[in-house]
């Protein structure tokens, strides 16, 4: 069922906007004459519902585990008769891409709601919360670090589209437009045709994991060799099988590439991407996470 990803700076009002959406969707569902719509349940997932504190952002390992917890919760409800509102920071575009792929795999719609509160307003909000001793506030060092690393959604990217930006002075998000995007104006929940990158197929070939490991390592070697031979140059296209794949203009270090490779293998260990497509899809995945 539909996935709505909330994204914004810390203390930008994401949870307030998410709660507005929960109230609207719940009212819309309850008032619908369609019995199929009435069966939909709205799930609101954030740090509070998952029992996570802001301390998880002090260390990269803890933050990674927190994202994994959010990811697992979202994935658990996606296949059910529900609208899932992922109300986390969701500030890393690679993570939003991961959620987008899971929505596609579940053959459901998704969108991103960007809470566009200015940084200075967020900083004032955070300072106010800290002064009151409220747990919703972020320690100043963590707040500044998260703001610095924030990767703003871009509606030109398919994983950030459709994108709805809610300005500070907007009383509410564009409820009806979001409903139409993920459910449909006629109230009939939309179905999405998955692409090759997200289709799950049966595990019939015993050497699949070997091919997954080998193909992804070969792509890393191609990227590292290209960077070595073209120092200081931007992105380029490299040939992968019969296709040309664009690699990121940003220089990637070996640890970065290895981390992305582990993520891709983890995502595709069970999905059984066709072996002939592993290299191309992984090159595309690397580009999305580095671009």
Of 221, 259, 268, whose CA–CA distance to 240 is shortest? 221
- Label residue 196 by pLDDT band (50, 70, 90): very low
Q: Is the pLDDT of residue 190 over 90?
A: no
> CB under 8 Å to 239, separation ≥6 — which residues?
245
Distance CA 189, CA 80 (A): 12
Residue 151 has, within 13 A of its CA and on its CB side, a CA count of 15
Q: Which of 97-106, 193-202, 264-273 has the lowest mean pLDDT?
A: 193-202
DSSP 3-state assignment of 190? coil
Residue, of 38 and 226, whose pLDDT is higher: 38
Q: Which domains does the chain have, with CATH numbers?
A: 3-182 (3.40.50.300), 208-290 (no CATH)
Range in 112-121, 133-142, 205-214 with the lowest mean pLDDT: 205-214
pLDDT tens track for 58-88? 888 888 888 889 988 898 888 768 899 999 8
pLDDT at 141 over 50: yes
Is 50 exceeded by the pLDDT of residue 186? yes
Query: Per the structure block, which two tokens stand in for 73?
Result: 């919760």
Residues 202-211: contacts with CB within 8 Å, 24+ apart? 202/272, 203/270, 203/272, 205/275, 208/272, 208/275, 209/269, 211/275, 211/278
pLDDT at 210 > cutoff 70: yes
Q: Does residue 188 surpass a pLDDT of 60?
A: no
pLDDT at 132: 93
**Mean pLDDT of the residues in the chain:** 84
Residue 251, pLDDT > 60, answer: yes
């Amino acid at each position: 069922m539909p996935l709505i990803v909330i994204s914004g700076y810390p203390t930008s009002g994401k949870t307030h906007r998410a709660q507005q959406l929960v109230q609207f969707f719940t009212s819309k569902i309850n008032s619908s004459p369609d019995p199929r719509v009435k069966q939909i349940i709205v799930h609101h997932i954030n740090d509070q519902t998952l029992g996570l504190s802001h301390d998880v952002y002090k260390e990269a390992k803890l933050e990674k585990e927190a994202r994994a917890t959010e990811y697992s919760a979202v994935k658990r409800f996606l296949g059910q008769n529900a609208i899932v509102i992922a109300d986390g920071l969701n500030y890393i575009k690679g993570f939003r891409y991961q959620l987008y792929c899971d929505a596609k795999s579940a053959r459901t719609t998704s969108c991103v709601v960007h809470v566009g509160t200015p940084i200075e307003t967020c900083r004032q909000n955070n300072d106010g919360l800290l002064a009151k001793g409220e747990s919703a506030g972020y320690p100043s060092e963590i707040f500044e670090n998260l703001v610095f690393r924030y990767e703003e959604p871009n509606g030109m990217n398919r994983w950030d589209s459709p994108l709805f930006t809610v300005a500070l002075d907007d009383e509410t998000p564009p409820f009806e437009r979001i409903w139409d995007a993920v459910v449909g104006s006629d109230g009939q929940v939309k179905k999405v045709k998955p692409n090759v990158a997200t289709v799950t197929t049966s595990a019939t070939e015993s050497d699949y994991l070997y091919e997954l490991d080998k193909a992804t390592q070969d792509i890393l070697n191609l990227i590292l060799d290209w960077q070595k031979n073209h120092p200081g140059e931007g992105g380029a296209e490299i040939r992968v099988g019969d296709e040309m794949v664009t690699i990121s203009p940003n220089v990637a270090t070996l640890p970065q590439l290895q981390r992305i490779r582990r993520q891709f293998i983890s995502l595709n260990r069970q999905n059984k991407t066709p072996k002939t497509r592993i290299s191309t899809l992984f090159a595309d995945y690397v580009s999305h996470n580095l671009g």
